[in-house]
Structure 1
Amino acid sequence: MKILNTFLVTLFILFLSQDLMAKSSDIPVEAFFKNPDFTSLQLSPNGKYLAVISSVNKRRNIVLLETANLKNVRPLTGYDKFNVGGFFWANDDSIVYTMDTSGGREAFSLYKVNVQGKPIVKILVDAKFGAFGVRSASVVNSLVNDPDHIIVQYNGRKVTAPDLYKLKVDSRWNLKRNKNRNMKLIAKNPGDVQGWLVDHDGDVRGAVSLNGLKSKFLYKDKGEKDFRVIREFNVTDESINPIGFDFDNKTLYVSSNIGRDTSAIYTYDPEKDTLGDMIYGRDDVDMGGMIFSRKRNKLLGVTYFDDYPQQVIFDKQEKQLRDGLAKAFDGKEVSFTSQSEDEMMNIVHVGNDRDPGEYYLYDRTTNKLRWLLPVMSSINAKLMSPMKPIKFVSRDGLTIRGYITIPKDSDGKNLPLIVNPHGGPFGVRDRWGFNPEHQFFASRGYATVQVNFRGSGGYGLKFQKAGYGGKWGAEMQHDLTDAVNYLIKEGIADPDKVCIYGASYGGYATMAGLTFTPDLYKCGINYVGVTDVGLLFTSMPKAWEPAKELMKVQIGDPEDEELMNRMSPLFHVDKIKAPLMIVHGAKDPRVVKQHATDLRDALEKRDIELNDDEWIMKKEEGHGFRKEENRIELYTKMEKFLAKHLK
């Protein structure tokens, strides 16, 4: 009952909360960083129910509602220590979801909860962690045509080589025997396969292997027992990446940059190993996803990202519908996020850079749209600030793109600036949309810049490879410096009030900024960041080991001690002039906590002591803080730190 009451109270107060704050500076930290009220809204196959991730007990839990009237609210989970990850409807009575109970080690187990009757949670696949690494499960195919089974990838036999299993949804993991007897092995990994391809019937038809820098595309026909190699390529060169089968289960859709720089979407004949027609491509950006109608057995369109999210709809009927919705929500991004099996009932998310969004129900039968729920009722879009694309030329002639968020109540001139480099870094890019961090910073009077520096994804192979081979702390860092100088020249940034803050690689870039350009920044916030590049190689998760040779090409050879020391901020702490805040999760499996503790120790040797507001190490967190109370504490202390050094 406590869980139910919490949910109903949230529904009641969402209409009142926004009126309590007259200006953005009045918005409390909690409004930006508490768990969203409602997210990941999904329709049951028959369309009768809605499942949603809702904040209950300050954790992400699954709640059920009736689609017709949003009544009979029923919590299906009630965790108070862990957060539900992703979920999907396996059938009308079963929801499958993931959850990490390892304190941030990223050991994701699979669970199932029934919808009808009293909710009963069953473990489908139990993840393990230890010196051997992390044994974790993920869903490869939900098998829409077989509601009693799903296909999962699980590395229980060998950490670096996940096998493929067909799993009965109504089953349970035996904790004593450490197995689920209803898991049927359907593809045994020979040792180097990193991904599997399944057709619409659930048959395993393809695999992609990786040995060093050599990758192979393996394929087999319907009914064949053994795979055959149909293509080999170097992973750093042009290639073909399978997306999935057309509905004939013969033709493949692939993403390829063969003969071009950016990736485009093509048809592909695996029997002849030949690319067919280009479905869609652009010369400036890589293609993203594809939009299908399973009911009509038809490709409807494609998606991609340039400065903004884009979609190209080929089907006339679908284009007319989506154009009509876009017109109805002018200035907003409209996306279809879920649908019933007959595709008549659709969940539509509507939002933009200033609005985290709202969910609507669109009924194709009646052509009617009905409001359902908000993502974050604590956010008043009218008080948020716009995120705008920027473009400049680097010192060596590369065109660099990014985004700037300027406080809406400012004149946009001579502002304190926060540089926020993204993580990854390779193949990752910043995108336009609602960002709670940047809106929080803007509400406090800071402009924030995101830079898609060289090495970022989405802009073609040449641009990504421009960041390869020892460019950390050098050319990649120069792009961030050039962004700051560009904004100073434009009159947007105050040269005496620039701070750098980032997580993961962004945390590395923070430390590189403070050590390699110490006069540029007035403060820095290193969040789960790399400080010792050599340590990144020696402490990497075992599941990353197949990609080690690729990482050596991308980052640099860890055997080159001179290069590792040159790139590693840990060996240059004597150059730091600006105040520093260090944030880390003690169970981070990617960037182990030694990166933070070694940095703190090096600072202490220089008689620099971090206080409790400048040093945050959480025992039960990993690569980023997942617990609501830890996030709120972090940004409360961050607000204090920034006010001290940037105001």
Structure 2
Amino acid sequence: MKYWPLFSIIFLAACNSTSKPAPSPEVALVTMDEVDSSYQVQHPEVDLFFKKPQLADFKLSPSGQALSFLKRSETGQLELFVRIQGKDKQLTFNSVRDIRSQLWLDDNHLGFRQDDQGNEVFILHKLNIHTGEQTQLTGFSGESNVYTQRIKNQPGKLIVYLNKIDRRYFHAYSLDIETGSLIALFDFNRGIFNPLLDNDGNTRIVSKWNANDDGKYEKLDMLYKGADEIAFTRFETLDLKQEVLQIIGFNDNKQEFYALSNIDSNTTELVKYDYQTLTKQSVFSHPDNDVAQTWQLPGDEDISMVQYNEGKGTLKPLTAQGNQLDQLIRAHTDLNYYISSWSDDGALLTIHAYSDIQPGQFFIVNQSQATVRELGQSAPWLNQQPLANMTPISFKNRNNALVNGFLTRPINAKDTPAPMVVLPHGGPFGIYDTWGFNPEVQLLASQGYAVLQVNYHGSGSYGRDYLLSSELQMGKGVMQHDLTDGVKWAIEQGIADPRQVRIYGASYGGYATLAGLTFTPDLYACGISYVGISNLLTFLTNMEPSWGIGRDFWMKMVGNPYTARKDLEAISPYHHADKIKVPLFIAHGANDPRVKQQESDQMVSALRQRGVTVNYMLKQDEGHGFVLEHNQQHFYDEMLNFFAQCPANPNLTVGAN
């Protein structure tokens, strides 16, 4: 599993544009043949692990009288269903793309978001659960909706975040569910945005830009006002390059509000602020790991539970209700779990339980009756399959710093070294791998590969210092060294065959793959770059406006293409393609708004100009990662074929660094 935490309160989305540079013209970009929904899977394991789930995403209606969920339809797509009084009803009938997320707008309406062929411009739709009538609510002028909040005590009203005025920033609007009318909550020109509302619809906290002397927005003021007050009072100023403050709950009875923050600590901790003094107090922290998730159950004035990702992950109750609920769930399952929804009164909750060999088992909990009932599983066809266990690991890198990660050994592994795939996560900043079910890992393990996942410096979950230690460290610095040192550790431990080490990653992981083949050309036998970055100069200059301050953060951490051109060329695989000695497979989506198609086009062109054979898969109907089932199946079939044909590395001396 991968977590994508909120690094700053204003990072609401990545990007939203359908524009893309033209393919590089130097060499005809011959790509693999396209496939359609009639595609026949070559490897049965691909179908096992990448078939769309049978069930997913159970959510209770506000009253608890209905249950929505996603279900694999007869045509193989994920469609939206509702269960009322024990009867299931299909609400959507999409012939091509899945419903990927859904939420209750009120007791009679569901909302769902969809984009167009992976362009990540998300449009919010309303769906009447009784009549099936669908109504588009946003997206009439090309804007994207990235977040929606239901106001508990204001039926018929939503808070939606849209980039209508300026594609760089998402502003809050009040949306009338019946009429579709939008009202801006603040004058954008005042620099106030991102309001956080209580259950009565009162704006309690807002953010305000704080410009430095150069006019750059490197700080953010956080302002608060009571429910009956008019004026806002500043209670924190954030350094956007390194500080986190995420408001997560209000407690009017105790005159407190809660937040996740790293302002006064290295790791992100749970804190509470006093309404009157606006001073804060630590409630829960972990010395080595950020608090990743929290839950405040209805009826609890305080935060009920926290979760952090030490080892296999730990969920810790903080209140009597949280402890009682945890004991009730533990009596029915020993799997990890998280709470996915609850009714407004808190009597009913839905639970998603999981492990490294169980992608999803769903339960409904009745707290008043102290009962737990199973709703189903996401992939029941895996129950009888031999699956591989994922083990938390750690090692010391070349600087004697501790690096954490996960190792999955192949099914029926012997004590002899095995072929290994290094699987660097995307992001990279603030993103991290966690323990749990990963279909890519299981697919590779089923084919006899060990899989190494490294939470290299720059990953989230391990505190601010660990994340920021990755500044200017891409390519030839500690971020890539951690992967190299992880390979060395696995070889020394007798886990990996040094002549059979492969590397595969997506997005930044694709960059890490290309960097591994370029800057450590004797280490890997072959590699796969999936929607990966090849040239940091073109990647940074082509960033969409909606990256906003995220773009500034990237330039701080990686380099400015206008002032550090030579430095960026030095760590861009495209400019060192002549160093690649081993087979390479590249895949991309033509509509990718984050990492443009150009990143793969130019790398393929550079290699083919030198007469190097590169397998190139380009999907015209995909974006930043493939979501259509037949495209996923095609990609993973070709991955297995490519890795199976990968020759042993003749360059590496056994045990060499």
TM-score > 0.5, shorter chain as reference: yes
Q: How does 1:57-136 map to 2 (within 5 A)?
A: 57-66=75-84, 69=86, 71=87, 73-100=88-115, 102-116=116-130, 118-126=131-139, 128-129=141-142, 135-136=143-144
Of 203, 215, 223, 2:220 maps to: 215
The 1:356–1:240 alpha-carbon spacing in structure 2 relative to 1, beyond 3 Å, is closer
Equivalent-residue separation in structure 2 for 1:189 and 1:588 (angstroms)? 29
Q: Cα offset for 1:89?
A: 1.3
Equivalent-residue separation in structure 1 for 2:570 and 2:532 (angstroms)? 17
Q: How does 1:445-456 map to 2 (within 5 A)?
A: 445-456=448-459
Aligned to 1:174: none
Q: Cα offset for 1:148?
A: 1.2
Q: Is the 8 A contact 1:192 1:546 kept in 2?
A: no
Equivalent-residue separation in structure 1 for 2:256 and 2:134 (angstroms)? 39
Equivalent-residue separation in structure 2 for 1:422 and 1:325 (angstroms)? 31
Aligned to 2:58: 41
CA RMSD of aligned residues (A): 2.1
Asked if residue 145 in structure 1 is aligned to residue 145 in structure 2, the reply is no
2:485 alignment partner, SS class: helix
Structure 1 stretches of 5 or more lacking a match? Answer: 1-24, 130-134, 172-179
Q: Cα offset for 1:363?
A: 2.1
Of 408, 411, 426, 2:411 maps to: 408
The 1:98–1:581 alpha-carbon spacing in structure 2 relative to 1, beyond 3 Å, is same
2:56 alignment partner, SS class: strand
Of 315, 327, 351, 2:354 maps to: 351
Q: Is the 8 A contact 2:151 2:198 kept in 1?
A: no
Q: Cα offset for 1:203?
A: 2.1
Equivalent-residue separation in structure 1 for 2:218 and 2:633 (angstroms)? 42
Equivalent-residue separation in structure 1 for 2:646 and 2:251 (angstroms)? 56
Q: Is the 8 A contact 2:172 2:194 kept in 1?
A: no
Equivalent-residue separation in structure 2 for 1:103 and 1:487 (angstroms)? 39
Q: How does 1:425-444 map to 2 (within 5 A)?
A: 425-444=428-447
Q: Cα offset for 1:194?
A: 6.4
Q: Could you list the per-position Cα deviations for residues 408-455 of structure 1 after superposition, in whole angstroms to 9, with x for gaps in the alignment?
A: 211253111000000110111100000011001111111111100001
2:207 alignment partner, SS class: strand
The 1:574–1:160 alpha-carbon spacing in structure 2 relative to 1, beyond 3 Å, is same
Q: What amino acid maps onto 1:48 in structure 2? A: Q
Q: How does 1:496-645 map to 2 (within 5 A)?
A: 496-558=499-561, 559-610=563-614, 614-645=615-646
The 1:571–1:443 alpha-carbon spacing in structure 2 relative to 1, beyond 3 Å, is same
Equivalent-residue separation in structure 1 for 2:332 and 2:370 (angstroms)? 13
Q: What amino acid maps onto 2:220 in structure 1? A: S
Aligned to 2:240: 235
Equivalent-residue separation in structure 2 for 1:91 and 1:240 (angstroms)? 29
Of 361, 366, 370, 2:369 maps to: 366
Q: Could you list the per-position Cα deviations for residues 372-404 of structure 1 after superposition, in whole angstroms to 9, with x for gaps in the alignment?
A: 211112322651110000000010121000001
Q: Is the 8 A contact 2:169 2:548 kept in 1?
A: no
1:282 alignment partner, SS class: coil
Q: Is the 8 A contact 2:296 2:303 kept in 1?
A: yes
Q: What amino acid maps onto 2:359 in structure 1? A: P
Q: What amino acid maps onto 1:65 in structure 2? A: R
Q: What amino acid maps onto 1:307 in structure 2? A: G
Q: Cα offset for 1:104?
A: 1.2
Q: Is the 8 A contact 2:356 2:390 kept in 1?
A: yes
Q: Could you list the per-position Cα deviations for residues 25-81 of structure 1 after superposition, in whole angstroms to 9, with x for gaps in the alignment?
A: 984311211211110011222323221111223322101223x54x3x211111112
1:293 alignment partner, SS class: coil
The 1:640–1:457 alpha-carbon spacing in structure 2 relative to 1, beyond 3 Å, is same
Q: Is the 8 A contact 1:473 1:509 kept in 2?
A: no
Equivalent-residue separation in structure 2 for 1:326 and 1:474 (angstroms)? 44
The 1:230–1:195 alpha-carbon spacing in structure 2 relative to 1, beyond 3 Å, is same
Q: Cα offset for 1:258?
A: 3.2
Equivalent-residue separation in structure 1 for 2:191 and 2:47 (angstroms)? 45
Equivalent-residue separation in structure 2 for 1:125 and 1:226 (angstroms)? 31
Q: Cα offset for 1:227?
A: 4.5
The 1:247–1:633 alpha-carbon spacing in structure 2 relative to 1, beyond 3 Å, is farther
Q: Is the 8 A contact 1:245 1:251 kept in 2?
A: yes
Q: Cα offset for 1:87?
A: 1.1
Q: Is the 8 A contact 2:391 2:406 kept in 1?
A: yes
Q: Is the 8 A contact 1:137 1:153 kept in 2?
A: yes
The 1:281–1:81 alpha-carbon spacing in structure 2 relative to 1, beyond 3 Å, is same
Q: Cα offset for 1:460?
A: 0.8
Aligned to 1:486: 489
Aligned to 2:197: 198
Q: Cα offset for 1:158?
A: 1.6
Q: Cα offset for 1:501?
A: 0.3
Q: Cα offset for 1:205?
A: 2.5
Q: Cα offset for 1:581?
A: 0.5
Q: Is the 8 A contact 2:473 2:479 kept in 1?
A: no
Q: Cα offset for 1:339?
A: 2.1
Aligned to 2:72: 55
**Bigger mean CA offset, 419-428 vs 317-326:** 317-326
Structure with larger RCO (C-alpha < 8 A, sep 6+): 2
Q: Is the 8 A contact 1:161 1:192 kept in 2?
A: no
Q: Could you list the per-position Cα deviations for residues 447-504 of structure 1 after superposition, in whole angstroms to 9, with x for gaps in the alignment?
A: 1111000010110111111101243432110000000000000000000001100001
The 1:362–1:510 alpha-carbon spacing in structure 2 relative to 1, beyond 3 Å, is same
Q: Is the 8 A contact 2:49 2:439 kept in 1?
A: yes
Q: Cα offset for 1:191?
A: 7.0
The 1:239–1:291 alpha-carbon spacing in structure 2 relative to 1, beyond 3 Å, is closer
Q: Cα offset for 1:538?
A: 0.8
Q: What amino acid maps onto 1:186 in structure 2? A: L
The 1:373–1:111 alpha-carbon spacing in structure 2 relative to 1, beyond 3 Å, is same
Q: Cα offset for 1:595?
A: 0.3
**Bigger mean CA offset, 548-557 vs 32-41:** 548-557
Asked if residue 254 in structure 1 is aligned to residue 259 in structure 2, the reply is yes
Q: What amino acid maps onto 2:353 in structure 1? A: V
Aligned length: 599
The 1:527–1:137 alpha-carbon spacing in structure 2 relative to 1, beyond 3 Å, is same
Aligned to 1:177: none
The 1:358–1:233 alpha-carbon spacing in structure 2 relative to 1, beyond 3 Å, is closer
**Bigger mean CA offset, 280-289 vs 235-244:** 235-244
Q: TM-score, normalised by structure 1?
A: 0.88
Q: Is the 8 A contact 1:326 1:334 kept in 2?
A: no
Equivalent-residue separation in structure 2 for 1:352 and 1:52 (angstroms)? 21
Q: TM-score, normalised by structure 2?
A: 0.87
Q: Cα offset for 1:224?
A: 5.0
- Runs ≥4 in structure 1, deviation > 6 angstroms? none
Aligned to 1:28: 45
Identical-pair percentage = 32
Q: Could you list the per-position Cα deviations for residues 100-139 of structure 1 after superposition, in whole angstroms to 9, with x for gaps in the alignment?
A: 1x221100000110112x201100112654xxxxx21133
Aligned to 1:267: 272
The 1:293–1:243 alpha-carbon spacing in structure 2 relative to 1, beyond 3 Å, is closer
Structure 2 stretches of 5 or more lacking a match? Answer: 1-41, 210-215, 649-657
Q: Could you list the per-position Cα deviations for residues 590-638 of structure 1 after superposition, in whole angstroms to 9, with x for gaps in the alignment?
A: 110000000011011101233xxx2111112111111111111110111
Q: How does 1:257-296 map to 2 (within 5 A)?
A: 257-269=262-274, 272-276=277-281, 278-296=282-300
Equivalent-residue separation in structure 2 for 1:464 and 1:286 (angstroms)? 11
